[in-house]
Amino acid sequence: MTFNDAKGLSHLTRVTDLKSTAITFILELAEALKTTNSSPLLLKEKSIALCFFENSTRTRISFEQAIHKLGGFPIDFKPQESSLAKGESFEETLHTLKALEISAIISRHSNDDFSKKIAEYHILPVVNAGDGIVAHPTQALLDSLTLKSKWNSLEGKQILILGDILHSRVARSHYELSQILNYNVKVAGPEEWIPSWAKQSITKDWKSFINDFDAILCLRVQKERMENHTTNDDYLKNYTFRESELKKIKRPYLLHPGPVNWGIELCESALKHPQCLIHEQVRNGLYLRMALLSYLLNPVESKKWKNNNGP
């Protein structure tokens, strides 16, 4: 059901590591953990290292909280305060963590293939919490959990991804997930921010068709991945989701992975709109990450728990 390496370690580097049956299981387990408000000890006494080379609030804290709630111990590995700063290699760092009885590593890094490289060492299971501009699999999965709770299934749904597609690891993970869960991704954004993989999916004049979409996912303008970026008038006029668009929406749900640059991607009053799911996304991140870690690190007991408590 999942990508197991030659040593039998289960990793999540991209959503494509998971078969659709595994994704369905994780989403159903997350829903069951949420609705029963349960904290089964599926990670009992497991220590899991969080290794974030980039800033984070939602992803990092939700993983930490998920590990706590499941009876495990989150270990805060601070790269800049570790022996990496003295020149120790990452491979040797992984061996060191393993010798200290760490069960898995959760990583975020600006390099596109960072978690894949960790997986290739075959030392510890790795969960990707954001790699460069290519993958943020748990964000796409938690967005799917959020939308699934509204529709039951994502199959055939039309999702517009809006803004800075090029620098977004969330957009890329959604594109991959859409091919597994059979939803349709359209994109709209400045031409220079449309990567090659999204060119077939461009929607011009998205504002005229706003109620044709089932969900609209606004993306953060990722200034830290650009040189000399200033948000220009063209962006604000054509791609900011403003009050005028907010007034029109009836059908689509409104999402944003956060953090939001208010007034650039989205007007602040969106938070009060009944179709806005931004805070639900954050909450669902906790349950999705509880389910994912349980599935990867304790699949047998996770299945037993879900059989007794889930659909």
Contact positions vs ligand CP (CB under 6 A): 56-60, 130, 139, 257-259
Shorter beta-carbon distance to ligand CP: residue 139 or 146: 139
Looking at the Cβ atoms of 27 and 140, the one nearer to ligand CP is 140
Q: Output the smallest distance, CB 136 to ligand CP, in A.
A: 6
Q: What's the closest the beta carbon of residue 47 comes to ligand CP, in angstroms?
A: 21
Task: Pick the closer one to ligand CP by CB: 71 or 258.
Answer: 258
Tokens of 81: 């305060």
Both tokens assigned to 174: 């959604």
In the complex, the smallest distance separating the C-beta of residue 106 from ligand CP, rounded to whole angstroms, is 11
Closer Cβ to ligand CP, 94 or 255, answer by number: 255
| φ, ψ dihedrals at 16, nearest 5° | -70, -10
Task: Name the minimum Å distance from CB 61 to ligand CP.
Answer: 8
> Rounded to the nearest whole angstrom, what is the least distance from the CB of residue 159 to ligand CP in the complex?
17
Shorter beta-carbon distance to ligand CP: residue 55 or 89: 55
How many beta carbons lie within 10 A of that of residue 204, not counting itself?
7
Structure letter (DSSP) for residue 128 = E
Nearest distance from residue 208's CB to ligand CP, in Å? 29
Taking the least distance from each CB to ligand CP, the nearer of 59 and 115 is: 59
Report how far residue 30's alpha carbon sits from residue 109's, in angstroms, rounded to the nearest whole number: 26
Token pair for 59: 């992803």
What are the start-end ranges of the H helices in the chain?
A: 20-35, 58-69, 90-99, 114-121, 137-151, 169-181, 233-238, 243-248, 278-297, 299-309
Pick from 184, 185, 179, 188: nearest CA to 241:
188
CB 148 within 8 A of CB 154: yes
